Amino acid sequence: MPKPSPEDDTVLQYLYLCANPLRGDDEIMREYEALKCHPRIKSIGFLRPDVLMVGTDEIIITYKGNQYYIGEFIIFLIRRQVDCYWETEFRFWNVTNPLYFFPEKEGTQPQVGYIHPHIMPANDELLGCPNGALCIAKGQFGVHMHMRKGEMHLAAPRLIEILETYPTGHPYTDASEWPIWEGKSDAWYQTSQNSVWPD
């Protein structure tokens, strides 16, 4: 009997995470394939059975006519059954470009200060690894509804859109603290911005 591949294990975990009596495994598998094929998603894996990890490509924010390179992210989508309902949460980690605080005390290690203009590191043990929570509430209700139904193929792209949004209000820090984007062509960026995903 052949040994299951890591992809097989990911598929089984995805089926478990997204289980819903209103949708069969075949439908959930089509949704998994849609998630894998999303142009902004680079990788899919699991931290543990109730925590899906989605790796993004570069997150860029446009602010005052400039595009700022915020970084590549891991989005943690958490779904666990508690009694008769689904408890959901999502967190983020900037794996390539977080902003650091550099303490003035000699010999002190720099600390991650900001993961995104609207995300600071969380001071909890929810995941057991570095992560941060979003400070803005706009758009979160729809994401939680998709997650409760096991529709990670709709929740993850919506969270990528939220990461690329820089609304007026009170971010933790200004987007201009990150470097100006000098990467892929404007044509690529415009294509990614024109993708439409349902709420």
Q: Quick one: average pLDDT of 11-16?
A: 95
Q: Which residues are paired to 89 by β-bridges?
A: 78
Give the Cβ contact number of residue 75 at 10 Å: 23
pLDDT (0 to 100) of residue 159: 95
1 within domain boundaries: no
Split at pLDDT 50, 70, 90, the class of 134 is confident
Whether residue 182 has pLDDT greater than 60: yes
66 CA to centre of own chain: 23
Domain of residue 38: give its range.
6-192
Residue 186: HSE in the Cβ half-sphere, 13 Å Cα cutoff: 3
Residue 45 burial class via C-beta count within 10 angstroms: exposed 0-12, middle 13-18, buried 19 and up: middle
Looking at 116-177, list the stretches that DSSP marks H as alpha helix, in order from N- to C-terminal side. 140-148, 152-163
Q: What is the total count of domains within the chain?
A: 1
Whether residue 51 has pLDDT greater than 50: yes
97 within domain boundaries: yes
pLDDT (0 to 100) of residue 198: 33
Residue 115 DSSP symbol: S
Whether residue 193 has pLDDT greater than 50: no
177 within domain boundaries: yes
State the CATH number of the domain containing residue 129.
3.30.1460
112 within domain boundaries: yes
56 within domain boundaries: yes
pTM of the full structure: 0.85
